[in-house]
Structure 1
């Protein structure tokens, strides 16, 4: 049975909250907290009980619960969840009632594509099976009708045995699994789409084709999966078969090797030689140009904010978009470069286009959230970064990092420090925010400790130079000036 309260319907089976305008994006933990509160509306639920139910067996800081409560209050209404001081939280919205699950229209389907097994017997071929999986994720992610889990989270479940448990952990209704065997110039692919709630086999296929047919196979898998999910959602999906990205299979294999590396921030720079090789083999390979433009712009963070890298990234992105105006990563790289060149309105146009082309890509959503943050819209930014996290729930570090940045901008300092406390290592741009948060909270010793870590990261550089290089990306220059003044004040108190 569903729980209906006001204009909202909580669907426990699908782990979905429907609002007046459709599905409401909630993290898995926030969903569990809300479910407990609305199903016991006349009770005060103690914090200990919430921790035991939502984080069983884990030691979690109290601020973590407060972050999720704050998120729920912003998504619903602040009055719906009240704090009973010294006791816990209580639902105080419209009286909930139980409703038949048959009374509602089907919700937007959610799906995870698990990494296809490499059946070649050669671990060196993992890049090929992983790359094919990632390509299917990217193509399916272009359908705004679905919520598609990102590669970094779905790849946590390689060779999964219990698909129902995987689906539960990722918060999805459907799972795609498959295998790839590449032998010389032939490829064999098996794939199946599973309804995780019933473990029913919705669709499956076996392909034994020439390697040159790989794009046609990927298109068919994407289209058949989309068609089956569309039937579940009762939506019409037009055929969206893409043009063949390259006729050079060696170029495509180099591109797949690059995808494997570019998916992780720490190894993204290692993707560059493979992308350049792919472009050398096929200068018309738009996707390779687009991914290279994104990697090039990321170097901006690695080479102490050298704007020349942003300009070179823009040039590569321009080439990609001339070859294919619908290359999402070409628009992403363009928006990224323009953002950090402080051309905010032009950046927004490019990033909006990137989001429209692939609304499920967490990289794209994250950069869009950064734009909102730097143009003084931190609350909107937090909503977008939450959507990114829903699609990549097993992401490590980046979510807390960017949430901390946005919460600091919003002057929600306690929540920001709670985010940073979850990180193994706080990067320098966030160390500056951490100094600001501790200072504003009156925690001067902690602010000084964060400052010492910042100085150790950039030995020999002046404090004002470090602050300017790390945070001078706000449209309102007063924000950077305030951060600089606070850091200098903390420095003077050491």
Structure 2
């Protein structure tokens, strides 16, 4: 029996007995549908766990009180959306209570006053409302875009002391979006003001509760249990374990709605993918098989279009080792990296679909996808084409945070790759578009991710605000904890801010997770090793690159006292960039702000001078 601090969410259906009396079968079906399609996915999305189900309610625990409150608002928003076209006397409404306190953990269950108070708070909530304890309100009131209204001290059953309670105020946050009445097309969640919340929360909240509107649609996916091909029923657990790991990872990615394990696990026998798609209302299905023999495991996996049954992607993984958990994790990581993320197979198919549409029918998200395809070519021409597409979309959708963020990214791409003759105006444009996007309320989860991701370099290059840059990078990384590409890129801002130990952790993990880590992953890792005073590791890592970063190679060699090698690296650099100097390296291409926080910058420049880079 253990004790721990947890945020407990208690939810209960309003007027359950009356609803059942009026229409038992219909009420049961609506409750089951709401639990599988809304409550289970949203609670999982916010890193929560349901530990008790009752006929008309549930109890869930969260490690973060911010996650718990965000989830509660998201659930109420989702229910409001679902009720739009339902007769009033048939609508499912819930009360929600949230408490932060110590709980007793026994097996999968939780007990104690922490749980009991949450249940009592739920009883005090209005239908469709949320009631929280003072502890909860204090923890989150300045971290979220909605406020709290004091309800005073409340005496509740079986709790000795009165409880100071607050209700969540939804003022300014419509519970029903402008797309109400279009069921199934958009995932209904609630908005958080990304910029204000990040300023105060320091990236601690998991921003998973913004509305998925037309401009940021979600793809939907189900992961079926992987078939056991070993001929030994005792090995069934391996296929289920891999599927569960994949579900956990995919559930973290903005723009992707993942069906819960309890809904997809029923398909443990061969079934037509189209039937799964129809039953679970998903666009894609991942299915596969596992064969284990001795210490060898072979896993096959395929991503299938649920509407046509056509294979979008398939691959095979051969693993060795006796650590089953590590094998599951490794395979799940590789499948996640290939299927989801900024460069995954689903995104590629979405981009193709966007290009198949005629111009008059393009939506905001289609413009994003079209530009995205060019942007990730990492060429000057591709970047210019991407920006032109996004600017065209912004003219059609002038309130778009999504397109503003991507236009800002295109200006930053110019700066990083020296594709502009006017670096400071480009920096100013990135700042303008990025800050405008950050200030737009009610952003989707994808928009929130991209906004934080974008503002990390903008704060660094425009204001030399390294700490704020780190806050933005950490907030973005929390939204995609399993995405190797994103976390590797975000680690660069940690390096410049002097958070090299955390940068090393993120980069080493990204390289482990990604089946085909990109060359620049190693470049950033080498930079982090260098600033962590591990020059030998820096040199070894740089030598793994197809095109080593000669400046950092020179600095690392100089730190090791290998001045001949350091000078040879500087000579190669000057062949590619004649006229480069210590003075120029001190600042970003904007020639306005330092590249790194002190004293890292001075140490780095001193090593370059020692390696023979001209001062001016």
Compute the TM-score of the two structures, normalised by the length of structure 1: 0.50
Q: Does 1:256 align with 2:372?
A: no
Aligned with 2:536: secondary structure? helix
- CA positional deviation for 1:299: 2.1
Q: Is the 8 A contact 2:253 2:480 kept in 1?
A: no
Query: Secondary structure at 1:194's aligned position in 2?
Result: strand
- Structure 2 unaligned segments of length 5 or more: list them: 1-234, 262-272, 275-281, 292-298, 309-331, 333-353
Change (3 A) 1:110 1:459: same
Larger relative helix fraction: 1
User: Does the aligned pair in 1 maintain the 2:558–2:610 contact within 8 Å?
Assistant: no
Partner of 2:218: none
Q: Is the 8 A contact 2:375 2:410 kept in 1?
A: yes
Q: 2:431 aligned to 314, 319, 343, which one?
A: 314
Q: Rate the CA distance shift 1:351–1:190 in 2: closer, same or farther, 3 A.
A: closer
* Cross-structure match for 1:484: 605
Confirm or deny: 8 A CA contact 1:432 1:483 kept in the other structure: no
What residue is the counterpart of 1:339 in the other structure?
A: 460
Match of 1:194 in 2: 287
C-alpha distance in structure 2 between counterparts of 1:284 and 1:247, whole Å = 18
Q: Which residue of 2 is the match for residue 71 of structure 1? A: none
Which residue does the alignment assign to 1:92?
Answer: none
Measure how far apart 1:489 and its partner are: 2.7
2:530 counterpart residue number:
408
- Could you tell me how far apart the structure 2 residues matched to 1:457 and 1:445 are? 19
How far apart in 2 are the matches of 1:297 and 1:463? 23
The 8 Å contact of residues 526 and 538 in structure 2, kept in 1 or not, is answered as yes
Residues 138 and 361 in structure 1, CA contact (< 8 A), matched pair in contact too? no
Q: Distance in 1 between matches of 2:606 and 2:528?
A: 19
Corresponding residue to 1:284 among 391, 396, 399: 399
Q: Normalization by structure 2: what TM-score? A: 0.41
Q: Quick check: 1:349 aligned with 2:471?
A: yes
Please say if 1:387 is aligned against 2:509.
Answer: yes
> Does 2:307 correspond to 1:207?
yes
- Identify if the C-alpha distance between structure 1 residues 469 and 291 changes in structure 2 by more than 3 Å, giving closer, same or farther: closer
Matches within 5 A, 1:23-34: none
Cα shift at 1:324: 4.3
Local SS of the residue matching 1:207: coil
User: Which structure has the greater CA radius of gyration?
Assistant: 2
SS at match of 1:109: helix
Query: Which of 430, 443, 446 in structure 1 is aligned with 2:562?
Result: 443
1:376 and 1:415 map into 2 onto residues whose CA distance is 18
Listed one character per residue, the Cα deviations across residues 215-236 of structure 1 (whole Å, up to 9, x for unaligned) are xxxxxxxxxxxxxx9xxxxxxx
The answer as to whether partners of 2:488 and 2:506 remain within 8 angstroms in 1 is yes
Q: What per-residue deviation string (whole Å, max 9, x for no partner) do you get for residues 250-287 of structure 1?
A: 65443322111223434445421121122223223332
Contact 2:551-2:608 within 8 A present in 1 as well = yes
Cα distance in structure 1, aligned partners of 2:400 and 2:522: 35
State the secondary structure of the residue aligned to 2:307.
strand
* Structure 1 spans left out of the alignment, 5+ residues: 1-99, 114-133, 147-177, 180-188, 209-228, 230-244
Q: Distance in 2 between matches of 1:378 and 1:492?
A: 24
The 1:416–1:109 alpha-carbon spacing in structure 2 relative to 1, beyond 3 Å, is same
**What residue is the counterpart of 2:255 in the other structure?**
139
Q: Quick one: distance in 2 between partners of 1:437 and 1:273? A: 41
Q: Which has the higher contact order (CA 8 A, sep 6+)?
A: 1
Could you say if the C-alpha distance between residues 386 and 329 of structure 1 is closer, same or farther in structure 2, counting changes exceeding 3 Å?
A: same
| Distance in 2 (alpha carbons) for counterparts of 1:424 and 1:433 | 15
Hey, what's the Cα distance between the residues in 1 that align with 2:563 and 2:467? Answer: 38
| Structure 2 residue 243 is the aligned partner of structure 1 residue 110 | no
Over 3 Å counting, the alpha-carbon distance change for 1:468 and 1:336 in structure 2 is closer
CA distance in 2, matches of 1:492, 1:386: 30
Query: Aligned partners of 1:302, 1:201: CA distance in 2, in Å?
Result: 37
Counterpart-to-counterpart distance in 2, 1:391 and 1:308 = 38
Flag the 1:101–1:376 CA change in 2: closer, same or farther, 3 A. Answer: farther
